[in-house]
Amino acid sequence: MNLFENDKPEIYEVQTTADGPIGELPLTDEILRHRPSGDLFGWTQDAAMGWQPAQLNRDEYLILSTMGGLRAEDGSPIALGYHTGHWELGLLVKAAANHIRDKSGLPFAGYVSDPCDGRSQGTSGMFDSLAWRNDAAIVFRRLIRSLPTRKGVVGIATCDKGHPAMMMALAAMKDLPVVLVPGGVTLPPTRGEDAGKIQTIGARYSHGLISLQEAAELGCRACATPGGGCQFFGTAATSQVVGEALGLSVPHSALAPSGQEIWIDAARRSVEALMLQKKLGLNAGDIVTDKSIRNAMVVHAACGGSTNLLLHIPAIAHAAKLARPTVEDWTDVNRQTPRLVSVLPNGPMDHPTVRFFLAGGVPEVCLHLRDLGLIDGTAMTAIGKPLDEVLDQWKTSDRRTRLRDRLLEADGVDPDTVIFSPQNARDRGLTGTLVFPSGNLAPDGSVVKATTIDPSLLDENRVFKFRGAARVFASESSAIAAIKGQSESPVKPGEVIVLAGCGPIGTGMEETYQLTSALKHLPWGKQCPLLTDARFSGVSTGACIGHIGPEALSGGPIGKVIDGDILEIEVDLPNVKGKINLIGSNGAVHDAAWGEQALLSRRMNAELAPVDNLPDDTRLWSILQGLSGGTWGGCVYDHESLSKLLASKL
């Protein structure tokens, strides 16, 4: 290949000047004398990009999104995105921009594309995942401030980190109208597996549970439509629900099926809401408040949300300069709030997220929660009305009736078996999703998605009790090899897998879904609980206890467990409490008090260390978040804490 030869002579016909746009900027004496030079120069650039100069003196609205990839007009890929969640977001950007134009506004658009936790499972890409959320929120905020003339912001996002990052950015804009457009969900295949189960094909194939042909075919069709977050109620879906519960999204927009008209309509409704906020003088600070944070926690509990939102909701509160929820706050909310939603992976019926949307979504859940007195109906919403007024309208709306009827017509599913009334939830034995175990291995707390523990392992009081010998791993790769039977000493049923050194300092607090998904879909996997200072995907299942604090590399006792230690686990679903304790070693069983003393006398596992290829950016993030409240504080940077610490060292 000759780098400097080309058979197209027209490439050398280089133009060196141009006539420039035709028309005149709508300048006035007042504008020229008093507006900043940046405003005037901005109009020059707007005209250069093709906007009609005479129409420049309009209210400007900024549309930020996490869109990724490059689609042709027919939807075919020119360059792929990282995931389906952001693949079709450009359609929402276009719909929002056109509606701003129709309303005589001037739209701007900016983008910060996001990674995919599913794509990076088991890879070094996972080391950047959680830290990326903070970086993206910073860039979003900088982009908002860098357009000083914007009158409001539309945020369009979906998926595990992009959507939380957008919420953090919008919540920080306390003096600006904002609205959040959720990116929706993909549909499940007519025949095949959902995007959660499909991530286990490697483990199942390794154990001879599926053939190579089956793996290839199932993997091809798991995502049945090209856009939207996953079909299960994992972190992406939970984040959309939380965004609506916070009041940032217009009512009944979370979990709409991507690409469909009802999804596109949410972008137009969101623009209407943003302009109404401006007219009413409402800002993000009126929407994201202490009461809306509490409402979001309650809705999270009622829906059985992902444990990752325990990291994101405190981060949103911090961005809004509100009190961050504590472990005690989470425990209190989950103890009071019944679970009302049956959706993948929580059961008892494995409904995909689109059915949750058709059954009524967030407004339907909130109707029940209001009847129980668990939510604050005075909280303001994105449409400029308090939640109580929204719910009153929802209850008698044509939209509610027609979509619930559509669910019954299309799938033969009664919407009341997707979103239960409190009485029906009690009759079906639905219990709260999250339990927060403590004990000598988790003095700062931990969390388990308790409703995904196999029911056959619970006693008559719905309590999971387990005692077993520890199998300690210092890396996720060594743990998955032992689970797949590819190591010299495979994991055996009845052992407790302990994965330590994978918190923020060790690996950026990687998500360990390949471990939990493998255990779910292996016949003996339910007999192996997992303890870790890492985190889990929202679709993780089983007796998997994460966020154990302090993390091992901060001196946490989980880093002192050795192979053969006798560990005791108890998860009490009805009472939202539990414990994880070292109670013995070398075959001798003692008690938790003995274990506490034993841990004090031990040194840290010598194999534990930050991974060699942990990016410097993530190392810096891990230090800063550790000094700012750590995992249970939302893994954020808190400038006040950091400033005080630095001042004390001077």
Q: What amino acid positions are annotated as catalytic residues?
A: 537
For 124-249, where are the E strands, in sequence order? 150-157, 178-182
Query: Crossing angle for the helix pair 309-319 and 290-303, nearest 10 degrees?
Result: 170
In the block, tokens 């959720």 appear at 182
> Contact 546/539 with Cβ under 8 angstroms?
no
Tokens of 475: 């890396």
The letter for the amino acid at 538 is G
Which residue(s) pair with 535 in the sheet? 511
Interaxial angle between packed helices 129-145 and 616-626, expressed in degrees from 0 to 180 and rounded to the nearest 10: 80
CA neighbor of 636 nearest in space, from 117, 172, 298, 67? 172
Question: CA 37, CA 311: separation in Å to the nearest integer?
Answer: 42
For residue 445, the Cα-to-chain-centroid distance in whole angstroms is: 21
Cis peptide before 345 (omega within 30 of 0): yes
* 8 A C-beta contact, residue 61 and residue 274: yes
Count of other CB atoms within 10 angstroms of residue 51: 18
Provide, for the chain, the percentages of residues in helix, strand and coil under a 3-state DSSP scheme, each rounded to the nearest 5. 45, 15, 40
- Alpha-carbon distance of 240 to 138, in angstroms, equals 20
Do the beta carbons of residue 368 and residue 340 sit within 8 Å?
yes
Q: What whole-number distance in Å separates Cα of residue 467 and Cα of residue 595?
A: 14
| Residue 523 near residue 416, CB atoms below 8 Å | no
Amino acid of residue 482: A
The alpha-carbon radius of gyration of the chain (Å, integer) is: 26
In angstroms, rounded to a whole number, what is the distance separating the alpha carbons of residues 446 and 407? 37
Alpha helices in 305-457 (DSSP H): 309-319, 327-336, 353-358, 361-371, 387-395, 398-411, 422-427
Q: 150-157 and 106-111: which strand pairing?
A: unpaired
Q: Residues 631, 314: contact at Cβ < 8 Å? A: no
Strand segments (E) across 97-209 = 106-111, 150-157, 178-182
Closest CA to 181 of 155, 203, 205, 163: 155
Query: Which residues, 6 or more positions from 28, have their beta carbon under 8 angstroms from its beta carbon?
Result: none
In whole angstroms, what separates CA 538 from the centre of its chain? 8
